[in-house]
Structure formats: C-alpha cells, structure tokens
Amino acid sequence: MKRLALVACFVLGTCASLSAQQPSLLLSALAAQPAAPASTFNFTLVPELAPPATASESFAFPSPKAALPDAPAPPQPSSFNEEGYRWDLAVGYEYIHFDSKQFSANLSGLHTDLTYNLNSWFGLEGNVVSAWGGTIGGERTKYVLYAAGGRIGWGPSRRRLTPWAHALVGGVHVNPQVARSSKNAFALQVGGGADWAYNSRVALRAEADYVRSTLYSSTQNNFQIGLGAVIHF
C-alpha cells in the first residue's frame, strides 16, 4: 500500500513539472523561428498598420532628365554676310564720260575697290579707276582716278539687296596733255549703288558716281557707272 502511494505521488509530481515547463518551451521555440519580413504583409489593404516612412524613403531626388531643361538648338548660319567679314574687295567694269572745254571722250576700263568695315554700317574705302578711250591729237586718251573716304551701308547684312553710298577725295590723271597744263588734278567722287548677295562671300554690285575735277585751270563735272562683283573676307 505504501509502495502504491509512493508511485502515485511520483507520477503526479512529474506531470506538474511538465505542465509548468510548457510555456517556457513554447516561448523558446517561437524565439528560435526567423522573423518574417515586413514586406510579406500587404499594408495597402490595411494602411493604418503600415510602419512610418523613413527619412530616406520620404525624400526623393528628382530625375536628372526632368531637372535639366532641353538644350537650345545650335544657331544656324545664314546664307548672307553674317560671319563678321571685315574686308570687301570689289572688281568690275567701269564706263566714264569725260567732258572738258578742251576735249570730250568716252572711256572704258576697270575699277578696283577695297573697303574695311568698322561696323555693320560704316567702312573706310579706297578705290582706283583706270580707263582708256579713243585717240585725240595723236595720243590715246587715258583716265585714272584714285580716291579714299567713307562708305555708309543700309539694311542688315542678311538682306539680299543692300544699298550704300560713299564720298571720296583724291586725284585724277588724264591724257593727253592740253596747252601745257598738268595732267594731274584734285578730284571729288560722290555716289552710291547696291550689292546683291549671291552667297555669304560673294555679291554682285552696281554703282554710279559723280566726279568733279579741276584740270586745265577749270572745273569738270563728269559721271561714271560700273558693274562688278564683291568678295567678303
């Protein structure tokens, strides 16, 4: 009987100790399991349970493409003289009607003109005109005009047609010699014309001038016209 009571007490004590150890074993098993990642739960369904956003997630850098404006298109060169050429060289045909008390003559020749442009509307110009005509008193008529001065142009360089005017002073040489008078004298040249731009480097030119000279102790009032081409460089 005593043995039976001892066995019953041992069994009851063992069961009591096992029941007391079950909560601690359960907690140890739960702690040993890996934590489930937060991303496995869809917080969009229950936004109240979503964790607060961190500073790195709340601040977003703008996209480089969105931040930078579109680059402007490069300027397209014009077909006219916008490249800043300073020099104009003109060469062409020249017709001169020379009239004086001693003789009159019609002469044809060549004109050469060089202009340095100080800006878009004013330049310093120098020109030479050489022409030849018929024979008078056994000598062939010859005419040389050389002058320098200023030139004024109107209109932007991108226009096809650019009118201009100039005023030059210099000298004139005329052959044949008359009554022992000098072949050389002072000359004033005033006139103008227009340039038609063929492209940015070349233009066609038409011009007309009034020329006042003081040969043979008198004054001559004559005119000349020319056609030619202009090279910008």
Write the single-letter amino acid at 208: A
Name beta bridge partners: 168.
149, 189
Instruction: Tell me what pLDDT residue 78 has.
Output: 44
Note if the pTM is more than 0.85.
no
Instruction: Tell me what pLDDT residue 26 has.
Output: 46
Question: Which two three-digit tokens encode residue 80?
Answer: 């006219």
Can you give the three-state secondary structure of 153-178, one letter per residue?
ECCCCCCCEEEEEEEEEEEEEEECCC
Q: Which of 181, 165, 211, 199 is nearest to 102 (CA)?
A: 181
Kindly provide the residue ranges of all beta strands, DSSP E only, lying in 87-136, ordered along the sequence.
87-99, 104-117, 122-136
220-232/87-99 β-pairing: antiparallel
Instruction: Tell me what pLDDT residue 9 has.
Output: 53
CATH topology of domain 87-232: Porin (2.40.160)
DSSP tag of 16: H
Residue 145 CA to residue 129 CA, distance in Å, equals 5
Residues 6+ apart with CB under 8 A from 100: 178, 215, 216, 218, 220
Instruction: Tell me what pLDDT residue 117 has.
Output: 95
Place of tokens 């979503």: 50
Name beta bridge partners: 111.
92, 129
Instruction: Tell me what pLDDT residue 80 has.
Output: 42
Phi, psi dihedral angles at 217 (to 5 degrees): 60, 30
DSSP tag of 27: H
pLDDT tens-digit profile, the chain (233 residues): 555 555 555 555 555 554 555 555 544 555 555 554 544 555 555 555 556 655 555 555 555 555 555 666 655 544 444 567 899 999 999 999 999 988 999 999 999 999 999 998 999 999 999 999 999 888 899 999 999 999 999 865 557 899 999 999 999 999 998 877 889 999 999 999 999 999 999 999 999 999 999 998 899 999 999 999 999 99
Residue 73 CA to residue 226 CA, distance in Å, equals 43
Residues 6+ apart with CB under 8 A from 61: none
Instruction: Tell me what pLDDT residue 77 has.
Output: 46
Residue 112 CA to residue 92 CA, distance in Å, equals 7
Question: Which two three-digit tokens encode residue 200?
Answer: 């940015």
